[in-house]
Amino acid sequence: MANVTVIPAKPRQELQGLEATSKLRVCAYCRVSTDNEEQLSSYEAQVSHYTDYIKRNQDWAFGGIFADEGISGTNTKKRVEFNRMIDDCMAGKIDMVITKSISRFARNTLDTLQYVRQLKEKGIAIFFEKENVNTLDSKGEFLITLLGSLAQEESNSLSQATRMGIAYRFQEGKVIVNHNRFLGYTKDENGELVIVPEEAEIINRIYREFLEGKSPYKIATNLQRDGIITGSGGSRWYDSTVNKILKNEKYMGEALLQKTFTVDFLSKRRVKNNGHAAQYYVENSHPPIVSKEEFAAVQIEFERRANMRGYSKTGKSKFTSDYAFSGKLFCGNCGSKFRRTKWGKGKNEQIVWICINHQITGACDMKTVKEKAVEQAFLRVMNRLIGGKDTFKSEGNASEVSQSAIEDIDARLTELQQELMNLVQKTGGG
Protein backbone atom coordinates (compact mmCIF):
# COMPACT_ATOMS: atom_id res chain seq x y z
CA MET A 1 0.00 0.00 0.00
CA ALA A 2 1.32 3.50 -0.91
CA ASN A 3 2.75 5.62 1.87
CA VAL A 4 1.40 9.22 1.69
CA THR A 5 3.00 12.16 3.48
CA VAL A 6 1.08 15.42 3.78
CA ILE A 7 3.09 18.58 3.09
CA PRO A 8 1.23 21.51 4.69
CA ALA A 9 0.78 24.83 2.87
CA LYS A 10 3.14 27.64 3.70
CA PRO A 11 1.69 29.86 6.44
CA ARG A 12 2.37 33.04 4.46
CA GLN A 13 -0.25 31.99 1.90
CA GLU A 14 -2.95 32.24 4.58
CA LEU A 15 -2.07 35.64 6.01
CA GLN A 16 -4.86 37.22 8.03
CA GLY A 17 -4.41 40.98 8.43
CA LEU A 18 -0.74 41.54 9.23
CA GLU A 19 -0.24 38.23 11.03
CA ALA A 20 2.59 36.05 9.77
CA THR A 21 4.33 33.02 11.24
CA SER A 22 7.47 33.27 9.10
CA LYS A 23 9.78 36.09 8.13
CA LEU A 24 8.49 38.07 5.18
CA ARG A 25 10.20 40.57 2.90
CA VAL A 26 7.86 43.52 3.27
CA CYS A 27 7.84 46.83 1.40
CA ALA A 28 5.53 49.85 1.51
CA TYR A 29 4.05 51.95 -1.29
CA CYS A 30 3.26 55.64 -0.70
CA ARG A 31 1.82 58.27 -3.03
CA VAL A 32 0.39 61.78 -2.99
CA SER A 33 -1.36 63.22 -6.03
CA THR A 34 -0.51 66.92 -5.65
CA ASP A 35 2.50 68.99 -4.71
CA ASN A 36 0.88 71.33 -2.19
CA GLU A 37 2.43 71.67 1.24
CA GLU A 38 -0.25 69.69 3.07
CA GLN A 39 0.01 66.73 0.71
CA LEU A 40 3.80 66.74 0.79
CA SER A 41 3.66 66.64 4.57
CA SER A 42 1.40 63.59 4.31
CA TYR A 43 3.80 62.03 1.82
CA GLU A 44 6.82 62.48 4.11
CA ALA A 45 4.82 61.18 7.06
CA GLN A 46 3.86 58.02 5.14
CA VAL A 47 7.47 57.29 4.17
CA SER A 48 8.69 57.78 7.74
CA HIS A 49 5.83 55.79 9.27
CA TYR A 50 6.20 52.70 7.07
CA THR A 51 9.99 52.66 7.24
CA ASP A 52 9.83 52.56 11.04
CA TYR A 53 6.80 50.24 11.08
CA ILE A 54 8.40 47.53 8.94
CA LYS A 55 11.80 47.66 10.63
CA ARG A 56 10.26 47.31 14.11
CA ASN A 57 8.53 44.02 13.21
CA GLN A 58 10.87 41.13 14.05
CA ASP A 59 9.08 38.80 11.63
CA TRP A 60 9.68 41.03 8.62
CA ALA A 61 12.68 41.87 6.50
CA PHE A 62 12.71 45.45 5.20
CA GLY A 63 12.02 45.37 1.46
CA GLY A 64 12.20 49.13 0.88
CA ILE A 65 9.88 52.09 0.46
CA PHE A 66 8.49 52.85 -2.99
CA ALA A 67 7.09 56.39 -3.20
CA ASP A 68 5.63 58.46 -6.03
CA GLU A 69 5.34 62.18 -5.33
CA GLY A 70 2.80 64.41 -7.05
CA ILE A 71 1.53 61.68 -9.40
CA SER A 72 -2.13 61.03 -10.19
CA GLY A 73 -3.49 57.63 -9.25
CA THR A 74 -5.95 57.27 -12.14
CA ASN A 75 -3.47 55.17 -14.09
CA THR A 76 -0.06 53.62 -13.45
CA LYS A 77 1.85 54.52 -16.63
CA LYS A 78 3.73 57.49 -15.15
CA ARG A 79 4.23 56.07 -11.65
CA VAL A 80 7.89 55.13 -11.84
CA GLU A 81 8.25 53.85 -8.27
CA PHE A 82 5.02 51.86 -8.48
CA ASN A 83 6.21 50.10 -11.62
CA ARG A 84 9.62 49.45 -10.05
CA MET A 85 7.89 47.87 -7.04
CA ILE A 86 5.83 45.58 -9.28
CA ASP A 87 9.00 44.56 -11.14
CA ASP A 88 10.69 43.66 -7.83
CA CYS A 89 7.64 41.67 -6.78
CA MET A 90 7.64 39.72 -10.03
CA ALA A 91 11.38 39.12 -9.63
CA GLY A 92 10.74 37.41 -6.29
CA LYS A 93 12.31 40.12 -4.12
CA ILE A 94 9.16 40.99 -2.13
CA ASP A 95 6.57 38.90 -0.28
CA MET A 96 4.13 41.55 0.87
CA VAL A 97 3.23 45.16 0.03
CA ILE A 98 1.74 47.54 2.59
CA THR A 99 -0.06 50.69 1.51
CA LYS A 100 -2.24 53.25 3.26
CA SER A 101 -5.46 52.62 1.29
CA ILE A 102 -6.87 51.43 -2.00
CA SER A 103 -7.08 55.03 -3.24
CA ARG A 104 -3.33 55.43 -2.64
CA PHE A 105 -2.65 52.23 -4.58
CA ALA A 106 -4.94 52.95 -7.54
CA ARG A 107 -8.21 54.73 -8.30
CA ASN A 108 -8.85 52.59 -11.33
CA THR A 109 -10.71 49.33 -10.66
CA LEU A 110 -9.16 47.66 -13.67
CA ASP A 111 -5.62 48.51 -12.56
CA THR A 112 -6.37 47.51 -8.96
CA LEU A 113 -7.68 44.07 -9.86
CA GLN A 114 -5.01 43.50 -12.51
CA TYR A 115 -2.15 43.98 -10.06
CA VAL A 116 -3.91 42.25 -7.18
CA ARG A 117 -4.40 39.14 -9.31
CA GLN A 118 -0.93 39.37 -10.83
CA LEU A 119 0.72 39.47 -7.39
CA LYS A 120 -1.68 36.92 -5.90
CA GLU A 121 -0.58 34.39 -8.53
CA LYS A 122 2.97 34.87 -7.21
CA GLY A 123 1.77 34.43 -3.61
CA ILE A 124 2.41 38.10 -2.82
CA ALA A 125 0.00 39.86 -0.48
CA ILE A 126 -1.12 43.49 -0.62
CA PHE A 127 -2.32 44.87 2.70
CA PHE A 128 -4.50 47.99 2.65
CA GLU A 129 -4.16 49.49 6.10
CA LYS A 130 -7.20 51.79 6.13
CA GLU A 131 -9.62 49.13 4.87
CA ASN A 132 -7.88 46.32 6.82
CA VAL A 133 -7.94 44.15 3.70
CA ASN A 134 -5.38 41.49 2.81
CA THR A 135 -5.59 40.34 -0.79
CA LEU A 136 -4.59 36.76 0.10
CA ASP A 137 -7.64 36.49 2.32
CA SER A 138 -10.48 34.52 0.69
CA LYS A 139 -12.69 37.61 0.91
CA GLY A 140 -10.00 39.94 -0.35
CA GLU A 141 -10.87 40.06 -4.02
CA PHE A 142 -14.57 40.75 -3.39
CA LEU A 143 -13.68 43.64 -1.10
CA ILE A 144 -11.09 44.92 -3.54
CA THR A 145 -13.67 44.96 -6.37
CA LEU A 146 -16.17 46.83 -4.22
CA LEU A 147 -13.74 49.35 -2.76
CA GLY A 148 -11.90 49.80 -6.04
CA SER A 149 -15.21 50.74 -7.73
CA LEU A 150 -15.82 53.35 -5.05
CA ALA A 151 -12.32 54.74 -5.51
CA GLN A 152 -12.88 54.93 -9.27
CA GLU A 153 -16.11 56.86 -8.76
CA GLU A 154 -14.25 59.24 -6.45
CA SER A 155 -11.66 59.84 -9.16
CA ASN A 156 -14.46 60.46 -11.69
CA SER A 157 -15.99 63.06 -9.39
CA LEU A 158 -12.64 64.81 -8.97
CA SER A 159 -12.15 64.77 -12.75
CA GLN A 160 -15.55 66.38 -13.29
CA ALA A 161 -14.77 69.05 -10.70
CA THR A 162 -11.45 69.77 -12.45
CA ARG A 163 -13.18 70.09 -15.83
CA MET A 164 -15.71 72.50 -14.37
CA GLY A 165 -12.91 74.60 -12.89
CA ILE A 166 -11.15 74.79 -16.25
CA ALA A 167 -14.43 75.70 -17.97
CA TYR A 168 -14.96 78.58 -15.52
CA ARG A 169 -11.45 79.86 -16.26
CA PHE A 170 -12.17 79.68 -20.00
CA GLN A 171 -15.39 81.65 -19.53
CA GLU A 172 -13.39 84.36 -17.78
CA GLY A 173 -11.01 84.49 -20.75
CA LYS A 174 -8.00 83.07 -18.93
CA VAL A 175 -5.67 81.43 -21.45
CA ILE A 176 -4.09 78.16 -20.33
CA VAL A 177 -0.88 77.51 -22.27
CA ASN A 178 2.13 75.29 -21.64
CA HIS A 179 4.58 78.15 -22.19
CA ASN A 180 7.56 75.80 -21.86
CA ARG A 181 6.70 74.37 -25.29
CA PHE A 182 5.23 77.55 -26.81
CA LEU A 183 7.81 79.14 -29.11
CA GLY A 184 7.73 82.92 -28.91
CA TYR A 185 6.27 83.32 -25.43
CA THR A 186 6.98 82.79 -21.76
CA LYS A 187 5.11 83.80 -18.59
CA ASP A 188 5.89 86.64 -16.20
CA GLU A 189 5.66 86.56 -12.40
CA ASN A 190 1.88 87.07 -12.65
CA GLY A 191 1.41 84.11 -14.97
CA GLU A 192 0.69 86.33 -18.00
CA LEU A 193 2.06 85.53 -21.46
CA VAL A 194 4.90 87.81 -22.56
CA ILE A 195 6.91 87.81 -25.79
CA VAL A 196 10.45 86.41 -25.97
CA PRO A 197 12.06 88.74 -28.58
CA GLU A 198 14.60 86.29 -30.02
CA GLU A 199 11.95 83.60 -30.38
CA ALA A 200 9.48 86.07 -31.88
CA GLU A 201 12.03 86.69 -34.66
CA ILE A 202 11.79 82.99 -35.57
CA ILE A 203 7.98 83.20 -35.71
CA ASN A 204 8.16 86.30 -37.93
CA ARG A 205 10.66 84.54 -40.18
CA ILE A 206 8.33 81.54 -40.61
CA TYR A 207 5.36 83.75 -41.52
CA ARG A 208 7.44 85.89 -43.88
CA GLU A 209 8.99 82.94 -45.73
CA PHE A 210 5.61 81.24 -46.14
CA LEU A 211 4.09 84.36 -47.69
CA GLU A 212 7.15 84.66 -49.93
CA GLY A 213 6.23 81.28 -51.40
CA LYS A 214 8.22 78.71 -49.45
CA SER A 215 6.54 75.47 -48.43
CA PRO A 216 6.35 74.39 -44.75
CA TYR A 217 8.77 71.57 -45.60
CA LYS A 218 11.30 74.01 -47.08
CA ILE A 219 10.93 76.38 -44.11
CA ALA A 220 11.49 73.49 -41.68
CA THR A 221 14.55 72.36 -43.64
CA ASN A 222 16.06 75.84 -43.53
CA LEU A 223 15.38 76.29 -39.81
CA GLN A 224 17.06 72.98 -39.06
CA ARG A 225 19.99 73.87 -41.33
CA ASP A 226 20.47 77.15 -39.42
CA GLY A 227 20.48 75.38 -36.04
CA ILE A 228 17.24 76.97 -34.80
CA ILE A 229 15.83 75.27 -31.68
CA THR A 230 12.14 74.26 -31.64
CA GLY A 231 9.64 75.28 -28.98
CA SER A 232 10.15 71.94 -27.22
CA GLY A 233 13.91 72.44 -27.15
CA GLY A 234 14.74 70.01 -29.97
CA SER A 235 16.88 70.54 -33.05
CA ARG A 236 14.68 68.60 -35.51
CA TRP A 237 12.06 70.59 -37.42
CA TYR A 238 9.10 69.06 -39.22
CA ASP A 239 6.72 70.60 -41.75
CA SER A 240 3.86 69.70 -39.36
CA THR A 241 5.51 71.91 -36.69
CA VAL A 242 5.67 74.83 -39.11
CA ASN A 243 2.05 74.24 -40.11
CA LYS A 244 0.90 74.41 -36.49
CA ILE A 245 2.76 77.70 -35.96
CA LEU A 246 1.26 79.19 -39.11
CA LYS A 247 -2.28 78.17 -38.08
CA ASN A 248 -2.07 79.06 -34.40
CA GLU A 249 -4.25 82.09 -33.74
CA LYS A 250 -2.39 82.78 -30.49
CA TYR A 251 0.42 84.37 -32.50
CA MET A 252 -1.93 87.25 -33.41
CA GLY A 253 -2.85 87.78 -29.75
CA GLU A 254 -6.09 85.79 -29.69
CA ALA A 255 -6.94 82.36 -28.34
CA LEU A 256 -9.41 79.60 -29.16
CA LEU A 257 -9.80 77.63 -25.94
CA GLN A 258 -10.71 73.95 -25.57
CA LYS A 259 -9.55 72.80 -28.99
CA THR A 260 -9.34 69.31 -27.52
CA PHE A 261 -11.16 67.58 -24.68
CA THR A 262 -10.78 64.49 -22.51
CA VAL A 263 -13.08 61.64 -23.48
CA ASP A 264 -12.08 59.22 -20.70
CA PHE A 265 -10.96 60.26 -17.24
CA LEU A 266 -9.14 56.94 -16.72
CA SER A 267 -6.98 56.89 -19.85
CA LYS A 268 -6.94 60.72 -20.04
CA ARG A 269 -7.22 60.33 -23.82
CA ARG A 270 -7.80 63.67 -25.55
CA VAL A 271 -9.36 64.16 -28.96
CA LYS A 272 -10.00 67.10 -31.25
CA ASN A 273 -13.08 69.08 -30.24
CA ASN A 274 -15.34 69.06 -33.29
CA GLY A 275 -18.31 70.54 -31.48
CA HIS A 276 -18.59 67.90 -28.75
CA ALA A 277 -17.77 70.45 -26.06
CA ALA A 278 -18.09 74.24 -25.77
CA GLN A 279 -15.24 76.37 -27.09
CA TYR A 280 -14.28 79.92 -26.12
CA TYR A 281 -12.66 82.53 -28.36
CA VAL A 282 -10.77 85.28 -26.53
CA GLU A 283 -9.73 88.41 -28.41
CA ASN A 284 -6.72 90.48 -27.36
CA SER A 285 -5.86 87.95 -24.68
CA HIS A 286 -2.10 88.60 -24.85
CA PRO A 287 0.52 90.55 -26.88
CA PRO A 288 0.63 89.54 -30.58
CA ILE A 289 3.77 88.57 -32.49
CA VAL A 290 2.20 88.87 -35.96
CA SER A 291 -0.55 91.24 -37.08
CA LYS A 292 -4.10 90.06 -37.71
CA GLU A 293 -3.66 91.05 -41.36
CA GLU A 294 -0.54 88.89 -41.74
CA PHE A 295 -2.20 85.94 -40.02
CA ALA A 296 -5.25 86.27 -42.31
CA ALA A 297 -2.96 86.45 -45.38
CA VAL A 298 -1.30 83.18 -44.33
CA GLN A 299 -4.66 81.42 -43.98
CA ILE A 300 -5.71 82.67 -47.43
CA GLU A 301 -2.41 81.38 -48.85
CA PHE A 302 -3.04 77.98 -47.27
CA GLU A 303 -6.44 77.87 -48.96
CA ARG A 304 -4.97 78.95 -52.29
CA ARG A 305 -2.37 76.19 -52.20
CA ALA A 306 -4.94 73.62 -51.11
CA ASN A 307 -7.15 74.56 -54.06
CA MET A 308 -4.34 74.47 -56.62
CA ARG A 309 -5.38 72.46 -59.66
CA GLY A 310 -3.57 69.25 -60.51
CA TYR A 311 -2.73 67.48 -57.29
CA SER A 312 -1.95 63.82 -57.98
CA LYS A 313 -4.71 61.25 -57.85
CA THR A 314 -2.85 59.49 -55.06
CA GLY A 315 -3.05 62.54 -52.80
CA LYS A 316 0.71 62.41 -52.20
CA SER A 317 1.63 65.58 -54.06
CA LYS A 318 2.80 68.54 -51.96
CA PHE A 319 3.20 72.22 -52.66
CA THR A 320 6.77 73.24 -53.32
CA SER A 321 8.45 76.42 -54.54
CA ASP A 322 11.98 75.08 -54.93
CA TYR A 323 12.11 75.53 -58.73
CA ALA A 324 10.79 78.04 -61.26
CA PHE A 325 8.14 75.67 -62.66
CA SER A 326 7.15 74.04 -59.37
CA GLY A 327 3.36 73.90 -59.07
CA LYS A 328 2.93 75.38 -62.57
CA LEU A 329 3.18 72.35 -64.89
CA PHE A 330 0.20 70.02 -65.20
CA CYS A 331 -0.41 66.79 -67.11
CA GLY A 332 -2.61 67.13 -70.18
CA ASN A 333 -3.84 63.55 -69.74
CA CYS A 334 -4.80 63.21 -66.07
CA GLY A 335 -4.44 66.73 -64.65
CA SER A 336 -1.80 65.82 -62.03
CA LYS A 337 1.15 68.08 -61.31
CA PHE A 338 4.56 67.52 -62.84
CA ARG A 339 7.53 66.84 -60.56
CA ARG A 340 11.16 67.74 -61.25
CA THR A 341 13.55 64.79 -61.08
CA LYS A 342 16.96 63.62 -62.28
CA TRP A 343 17.64 60.75 -64.67
CA GLY A 344 20.99 59.03 -65.20
CA LYS A 345 24.33 59.73 -63.54
CA GLY A 346 27.48 61.66 -64.31
CA LYS A 347 27.72 62.89 -67.90
CA ASN A 348 24.46 61.16 -68.77
CA GLU A 349 22.50 62.96 -66.03
CA GLN A 350 19.59 65.07 -67.24
CA ILE A 351 16.80 67.03 -65.54
CA VAL A 352 13.28 66.07 -66.55
CA TRP A 353 9.72 66.84 -65.45
CA ILE A 354 7.38 63.90 -64.96
CA CYS A 355 3.68 63.45 -64.23
CA ILE A 356 3.36 62.48 -60.55
CA ASN A 357 0.52 60.09 -61.33
CA HIS A 358 2.65 58.37 -63.96
CA GLN A 359 5.67 58.17 -61.64
CA ILE A 360 3.84 56.81 -58.60
CA THR A 361 1.05 54.63 -59.99
CA GLY A 362 1.87 54.18 -63.69
CA ALA A 363 -1.81 54.89 -64.41
CA CYS A 364 -0.97 57.79 -66.72
CA ASP A 365 1.00 57.25 -69.95
CA MET A 366 2.22 60.84 -70.28
CA LYS A 367 5.90 60.92 -71.30
CA THR A 368 8.58 62.86 -69.41
CA VAL A 369 9.69 66.29 -70.64
CA LYS A 370 13.28 67.53 -70.53
CA GLU A 371 13.71 70.71 -68.51
CA LYS A 372 15.55 72.42 -71.37
CA ALA A 373 12.52 71.83 -73.58
CA VAL A 374 10.25 73.31 -70.92
CA GLU A 375 12.46 76.41 -70.64
CA GLN A 376 12.54 76.91 -74.40
CA ALA A 377 8.77 76.53 -74.73
CA PHE A 378 8.23 78.93 -71.87
CA LEU A 379 10.52 81.57 -73.42
CA ARG A 380 8.75 81.27 -76.79
CA VAL A 381 5.39 81.89 -75.15
CA MET A 382 6.70 84.81 -73.09
CA ASN A 383 8.37 86.42 -76.11
CA ARG A 384 5.12 86.06 -78.05
CA LEU A 385 3.21 87.61 -75.16
CA ILE A 386 5.63 90.50 -74.66
CA GLY A 387 5.98 91.07 -78.39
CA GLY A 388 2.22 91.16 -78.86
CA LYS A 389 1.52 94.00 -76.44
CA ASP A 390 0.40 96.39 -79.20
CA THR A 391 -2.12 93.87 -80.47
CA PHE A 392 -3.34 93.41 -76.94
CA LYS A 393 -3.69 97.18 -76.58
CA SER A 394 -5.74 97.54 -79.73
CA GLU A 395 -8.01 94.73 -78.64
CA GLY A 396 -8.23 96.40 -75.24
CA ASN A 397 -9.25 99.73 -76.78
CA ALA A 398 -11.89 97.95 -78.82
CA SER A 399 -13.23 96.55 -75.60
CA GLU A 400 -13.15 100.01 -73.96
CA VAL A 401 -10.37 99.11 -71.52
CA SER A 402 -9.13 102.30 -69.85
CA GLN A 403 -5.70 103.68 -70.75
CA SER A 404 -4.61 103.56 -67.09
CA ALA A 405 -5.48 99.88 -66.93
CA ILE A 406 -3.37 99.21 -70.03
CA GLU A 407 -0.44 101.11 -68.52
CA ASP A 408 -0.73 99.03 -65.37
CA ILE A 409 -0.69 95.86 -67.48
CA ASP A 410 2.39 97.12 -69.40
CA ALA A 411 4.28 97.78 -66.19
CA ARG A 412 3.32 94.44 -64.71
CA LEU A 413 4.33 92.58 -67.90
CA THR A 414 7.76 94.24 -67.81
CA GLU A 415 8.25 93.23 -64.18
CA LEU A 416 6.98 89.74 -64.88
CA GLN A 417 9.31 89.31 -67.84
CA GLN A 418 12.38 90.18 -65.76
CA GLU A 419 11.23 88.03 -62.83
CA LEU A 420 10.55 85.00 -65.00
CA MET A 421 13.85 85.38 -66.87
CA ASN A 422 15.69 85.40 -63.56
CA LEU A 423 13.83 82.28 -62.43
CA VAL A 424 14.51 80.45 -65.70
CA GLN A 425 18.22 81.33 -65.52
CA LYS A 426 18.33 80.07 -61.95
CA THR A 427 16.56 76.83 -62.89
CA GLY A 428 18.76 76.31 -65.91
CA GLY A 429 21.75 76.19 -63.58
CA GLY A 430 20.52 72.85 -62.15
d(CA 197, CA 37): 36
d(CA 297, CA 48): 61
pTM recorded for the entire structure: 0.41
d(CA 354, CA 113): 60
d(CA 223, CA 347): 33
> Of 286, 60, 63, which is closest to residue 185 (Cα–Cα)?
286
Q: What is the pLDDT along the chain (430 residues), one digit of tens a residue?
A: 666 766 675 544 444 444 444 689 999 998 876 544 554 556 778 888 899 999 999 889 999 999 887 655 555 567 889 999 999 999 999 999 999 888 788 766 767 878 888 998 899 999 988 888 888 887 777 777 776 666 666 666 666 665 665 555 655 656 666 667 889 998 888 878 889 999 999 999 999 998 888 889 999 999 999 999 998 888 899 989 999 999 988 898 887 766 665 655 555 566 676 666 666 677 878 889 999 899 888 888 888 777 654 444 444 445 555 666 776 788 878 777 788 887 877 777 888 888 877 777 777 888 888 888 888 877 777 776 666 555 444 444 444 444 555 566 566 666 665 555 555 445 444 4
Tell me the domains of the chain and their CATH numbers: 11-156 (3.40.50.1390), 179-301 (3.90.1750.20), 338-428 (no CATH)
Instruction: Reduce the secondary structure of 283-339 to three states and give it as a string.
Output: CCCCCCCCCHHHHHHHHHHHHHHHCCCCCCCCCCCCCCCCCCCCCCCECCCCCCEEE
3-state secondary structure (DSSP) of residue 195: strand
Alpha helices per DSSP H over 122-192: 140-171
Order of strands across the sheet with 24-32?
60-69, 24-32, 96-99, 125-128, 133-134
